[in-house]
Amino acid sequence: MPSSNLVKDKEITAPDQALCSDITYIYTEEGFVYLSLVMDMFAKDIVGWAMSDTLETESGPLAALKMAAKAVGAGKEVVAHSDRGCQYGSHVYRALLDDLGWKSSMTEELHCYENGMAERLNGILKGEYFLDRHFKTRGEARKAVKEAIWIYNHRRLHEKLNYKTPVEFRAEWFKETA
């Protein structure tokens, strides 16, 4: 059974309160690779990601969620938001959320705009960092994705973060609130 949308009316006031996730397709001559992303909805940093040659839950969204869990930590009251893709509603994905003590949140049916932050991230990575270009190999795409995510987190300034990078903003926020 799909989860309710827990972030629609939620005021997010700190890092690690709400994460959004999505999968985007990257074309290569060898076939698609599927990039699963997890972004903090407050600090805007990519806290988890994984690339897979398939759309299977374990090698994509679950692997990205595990990376996010290492970055954020278990036991916090985190809302993990996504669209209604079957991977996010799968038993194994929801079991990990339960193990972490995190809550599942999903868009309403066919309402992709309710996951707009994750969709926007896909657009930024493809538009600004050219992940929509023609890749010869999956390896070439993986290298480009890794570089784009690093640049996004460490170099891209965000107006909503007072013209800081996501990594700078997160570090300063925790320093100021410690």
The interaxial angle of helices 91-100 and 61-72, nearest 10 deg, is 10
pLDDT tens-digit series, residues 7-55? 998 999 999 999 999 999 999 999 999 999 999 999 999 999 999 999 9
Give the DSSP H/E element, type plus range, for residue 104: strand 103-106
Euclidean distance between CA atoms 24 and 32, whole angstroms: 10
Mean pLDDT of all residues in 83-106: 96
Mean pLDDT of all residues in 142-148: 98
CATH of domain 18-177: 3.30.420.10
**Residue 45, pLDDT score:** 98
Mean pLDDT of all residues in 159-168: 98
**Residue 18, pLDDT score:** 98
